[in-house]
Amino acid sequence: MNAPETQLASAPYDSAAEGYNFAYLDEQTKRMIRRSLLKAVAVPGYQVPFASREMPLPFGWGTGGIQVTAAIIGRSDTLKVIDQGSDETTNAVNIRRFFARTTGVATTRRTSEATIVQTRHRIPETPLTDKQILVYQVPMPEPLFRLEPRVAECKKLHALADYGLISVKLYEDIVHHGSIATTYDYPVIVNERYLSSPSPIPKFDNPKMHMNPALQLFGAGRERRIHAIPPYTKVRSLDFDDHPFEIQRWEHACALCGSKESFLDEMIVDDAGKRMFVCSDSDYCHDRREQQADQTGAIAEGESA
Amino acid sequence: MSSIESHASERAFIDNAALMLRAVNIGKTFTLHAQGGVQIDALSGVSLDVEQGECVVLVGPSGAGKSTLLRCLYGNYLASSGSIAIRSDAHDAQHVAITGAEPHDVLRLRRNVVGYVSQFLRVIPRVTALTLVAEPLVSRGVAEDEARERAAALLARLNVPERLWSLAPATFSGGEQQRVNIARGLIAGHPLLLLDEPTASLDAENRDVVADLIVEARERGAAIVGIFHDEDTRTKVATRRLELQPPLRRQAALH
Amino acid sequence: MTARMTPLLSARAITKQFGGRNGCRNVTFDLYPGEVLCIVGESGSGKTTLLNTLALRTEADSGTLHYHATHGDMLDLRALSEPRRRLLMRTEWGFVQQNPRDGLRSGVSAGANIGEPLMAVGARHYGQIRHTATQWMERVELDATRIDEYPAAFSGGMQQRLQIARNLVTGPRLVFMDEPTAGLDVSVQARLLDLLRTLTSTLHLSVLIVTHDIGVARLLAHRLMVMQGGEVVEAGLTDQVLDDPQHPYTQTLVSSVLPV
C-alpha cells in the first residue's frame, strides 16, 4: 500500500479490491452525503452539517474531501488528486491509490482528462470545464471561528448575514500590517449572500472560484460540514474600497517552464541555500514544458526537413 | 383640574391675551413620613392671576409660603390642591396646566416660557460661569457664539469680573454665584419669570442693577412674580403686591 | 392642551419576574425624544431587570412595549422578529454596560471597536472608518493617537469612554446605560458624567440610565423613576422628585444622601 507509484499514466484496474464496497463507503452513507451535497448546492456557501464517518486515516488528512469524492465517484469517472498542486506528494499518491483500489476507476495526472479533481489547498492553473467537479479538502470551514468562538452566535451571524466582524478582522490586518495580510484562506462572499472560507488555498486562487464552469464541493471531515459553489456563481473576495483585493505576484518566472502567471513555490535546491521558483501546479508546468518541447522539435524538424 | 375649572381657564386665556399665569386655590401640605407622617401646611387657598407687564411681589412673614408658592408655580413642588395654568407661549391662545402635567410638557414650558431664579445657585460642577449663563439660549437654538456673547454682556452688566467667566462658580462668593444665577435666569427673556430672593446676597449697587434688569424685562412685557427681601427693590419693580399669611391650621400627626 | 408629542418608547404594565418574585412589576411610562430618564433604586429594586427588559435583552413576562422608529412606524417591540430586533439594536439603539469590558472587544484595537458598528452596517472605506473613529475618540476626550491600542491598555474610565463612543458612533436615538459610572474612581466618575451630560444634550439623545446614585440622576436626568421592591413608587421631574419627594421610600432615599 505504501510502495511508491512509478507510473503516472492512466492505469484502469480490472476490478476493485475484494471486500470493499465501491468507493469504500456503504451506499447509505453515500446517499446521506449526496443529500447534504444537494442542500449545499441549493444554498451556495452555506455550511451543511453531515454525518462524517470514521475513515481509514485520521482527521486532518483529507477525510472530508475523500468522503465527498467517494459519494460522487462513478465507474466512468477519471480521478486526479493533488496536494499543494502536486500529484506526487505522499498524500496525493495515497488518496489516489485508495480510490483506485476501492473503485477501479481510471486515475490521471492531467487536469484536462479528469472528471473529478480532489485537491488540498490549491486550484489547478488549467481552467476547468462544466464537465468537471473540484473537491476541496477543508480543515476549518467556519471563517468566523476565531472571531466568534460561540457556535450558536456564529450560526446566528450567518443566518442574519451579520458580517461586520470579518470586516473588523480585515481592518485589524491593515492596522497591524499596512495591508490586508491574509494570504490564504481569504474570506469570500458566495452568491452575494454567505460568508465562506474557501479552504486554505492561496488568495492567488480566489479569482478562479468566481464564475467557474465546474462544480466546486468542499468537505470538512473533522468539522462535519459540507458546502458548495455551483457552476457560474459569483464569488467575491472581501476588501475595503480603499484597500482592494489583490493577488500575489512574483518577480520571478518558473525556472522549469518559464510561466509568469502561475503560483510559484520557492524551493531550496542545495545546502548553500540556492533558491529556485517552480510552478506549484506540477501538471500545468509539465504540460507547458511538453508544449515547448514540441515547438522546439517542430522547429528542429522544420530545419532538418 | 375639573372640567369646569379647565373650561373657565381656557376662556380666561382666550379672552385675556395678556394673561400669562392663572393659579387658583393653591394648597401645599408636606407629609414627612420619616417623622411619623406629620403634615405641615405650607400654603392654603392662594389664588393669583398675572398678566404681561405685571410684576407681582409676594410679601408676608417668614413661613407664609412665598418660596413654596414660587416652587409650585415652577413645578418644582407638587401643589397638593388647586390648579396652576400657564400660557404655552407668549402669543399662544393655549395653556398648560402645570398641576397634573406630563413631565415633558413642563420641561418645554421651562425651556420656552417660565424662567426661575432660585435662592441658591444649583452648582453644576466643572461647568464655567459663561457656559452656564449661555446654556438657556443654546437650548433654545441660539448659535453658541452668539449665546456666549450675550452671556458675556449680561455678566458684565452684573459686574461679574471677566476673569471669573471661564471658571466654575463653585468657588465664587455668595454674591457672585447669585449674579450668575440671575444672569442665567434672565438671559433668555422668558415671558414669565419667577424670582426667589434674587438680591439677597448682593450689595446695594448690584441690587440696583438687578432691579433695572427686572424693570426692563417687565417693560418688555414679561409677567413677573418675585420675592424681594429689601423694600427699595420692591418699590422699584412691583406693579402690585400679594400678601401671604401662614396657613391658619396646623394639623397634628394622624399616624 | 398642547399638541401631543409622540413618545419614543412606551411601556405599559411591563412585568418580568423570576420564579414569581423579584424582577420588576407593572411598570408604565413614556419616554420622549431628547429626554434623559434615570431609574433609581437600590440593589434588588428591579431596576436592572427593567432596563434589560426594555432593551429587549430579556423577555418580559407581560405588558407591551412600543417604539417609534425613524421611518415613523410604531413598532411593537415584543412582537419583533429577532433579525429586526438585532437590526434595531445595531442602528437606532445603544447599550452601555456597567463594566466596559463587557461592552468592548478586547482582542481588537480601539479604532476597530469604534468602527465595528459602522462596518456592521456596511461601511467599506478603511480611511473613512478610521477617520470617524478618530473623531469619536476626540469627542469622548481620548487621545486619538492611541487608536491602534487594545482596550486593555486603557484605564477603566477610558475604557468606559471607548464603550460610549462605540455605542454612539452610529447615531442612535435611544441609549440604555447600566450604571455607567459605578466602579470608577470618584474624580473619573465626575469627568465621565460631564461627558455624558454634554453628549446627551448636544446629540439630543433619549437616554434610560439605571443608577443607584442620586447625584448621577440629579446631574444627568430630566426625569426620575424611583424603584423599590420591583415597583415604581414615584416618578416625575428630577428636581421635583428630589426636592419634593412624596413617597416614604423616596423621602428616605433623598434624605440619605450626604450633602457635599
Picking from B104, B126, B196 by the largest number of C CB atoms within 10 A of its own CB, the best residue to mutate is B104
Q: CB–CB of C149/C111 below 8 Å?
A: no
Strand partners, A83: A86, A120
Look-up of cell digits 467517494: A70
Q: State the pLDDT at residue B2.
A: 63
Question: Cell triple for residue A121?
Answer: 489547498
The identity of residue B24, as a single letter, is: V
**pLDDT over threshold 60, residue A16:** no
Confidence band of A296 (pLDDT split at 50, 70, 90): confident
**Residue numbers of chain B with a pLDDT score lower than 50:** 251-255
pLDDT tens-digit series, residues A145-185 = 888 889 999 999 999 998 999 999 999 999 998 888 888 88
Round to whole Å and give the CA distance between B167 and B173: 13
pLDDT of residue A184: 87
Assess whether A154 carries a catalytic annotation. no
CA–CA distance, B137 with A230 (Å, rounded to integer): 64
Is A4 a residue whose pLDDT tops 60? no
For residue A14, the model assigns a pLDDT of 44
Distance from CA of C125 to the nearest CA of A (A): 5
SS3 B202: coil
**C-beta atoms surrounding C85 within 10 Å:** 15
CB contact under 8 A, C109 and A175: yes
Give C114's contacts in chain A (Cβ within 8 Å). Answer: none
User: C178-215 pLDDT, tens per residue?
Assistant: 999 888 888 888 888 888 888 888 888 899 999 988 98
Kindly report, residue by residue over A221-280, the tens digit of the pLDDT.
999 999 999 999 999 999 999 999 998 888 889 999 999 989 999 888 888 888 899 999
Q: How far is C2 from chain B (nearest CA, A)?
A: 7
Report yes or no: C105 at the A interface, CB cutoff 8 Å.
yes
Question: How far is A231 from B48, CA to CA, in rounded Å?
Answer: 85
Radius of gyration for the alpha carbons in chain B, expressed in angstroms and rounded: 19
- Residue listed under C-alpha cell 408655580: B73
Work out the pLDDT band at C4, boundaries 50, 70, 90. low
pLDDT of B5: 65
| The pLDDT of residue B3 | 67
The mean pLDDT value for A301-305 works out to 66
**Tens of pLDDT, residues C171-180:** 999 999 999 9
Please judge whether C115 and A175 are an interchain contact, meaning their C-beta atoms are less than 8 angstroms apart.
no
User: What is the nearest CA distance from C124 to chain A, expressed in angstroms?
Assistant: 5
- Per the DSSP assignment, residues forming a β-bridge with A268 are A275
* Continuous segment of H or E residues that includes residue B116: strand B114-117
Q: SS3 letters for B63-76?
A: CCCHHHHHHHHHCC
Phi-psi region of A45 (alpha: psi -120 to 50; beta: other; left: phi over 0): left
Structure-block grid coordinates of residue C219: 446631574
Of all residues in chain C, what percent carry a pLDDT higher than 70? 97
Cα separation, B133 vs B143, whole angstroms: 14
Is A285 catalytic? The answer is yes
Average per-residue pLDDT for chain C = 91
Cell numbers given for B206? 448690584
* DSSP bridge partners of B114: B192
Cα A27 off chain centre by: 25
Residue A107 phi/psi, 5-degree rounding, is -120, 160
d(CA B167, CA B34): 39
H/E segment holding residue B25: strand B19-32
DSSP structure string for A273-302: --EEEEES-HHHHHHHHHHHHHHHHHHHHH
Instruction: Enter the C-alpha cell of residue C191.
Output: 469627568
Separation in Å, CA A208 to CA A44, A122, A232, A234: 16, 10, 11, 11
Those chains having 3 or more beta-carbon pairs within 8 angstroms of chain C are: A, B
Rg (CA), chain A: 21
Confidence of residue A5 (pLDDT cuts 50, 70, 90): very low
Q: What is the pLDDT of residue A179?
A: 86
Q: What is the pLDDT of residue B16?
A: 86
> Are A and B close enough to touch, i.e. 3+ CB pairs under 8 angstroms?
no
Q: Between chains, do A164 and C120 touch, taking CB under 8 Å as contact?
A: yes
Interface test with C, best of B5, B29, B81, B102 (most C CBs within 10 A): B102
CB atoms within 10 A of CB A250: 15
Which of the following is catalytic: A64, A85, A219, A254? A254
Q: Which of A42-46, B112-116, C21-25, C111-115 is the least confident region?
A: C21-25
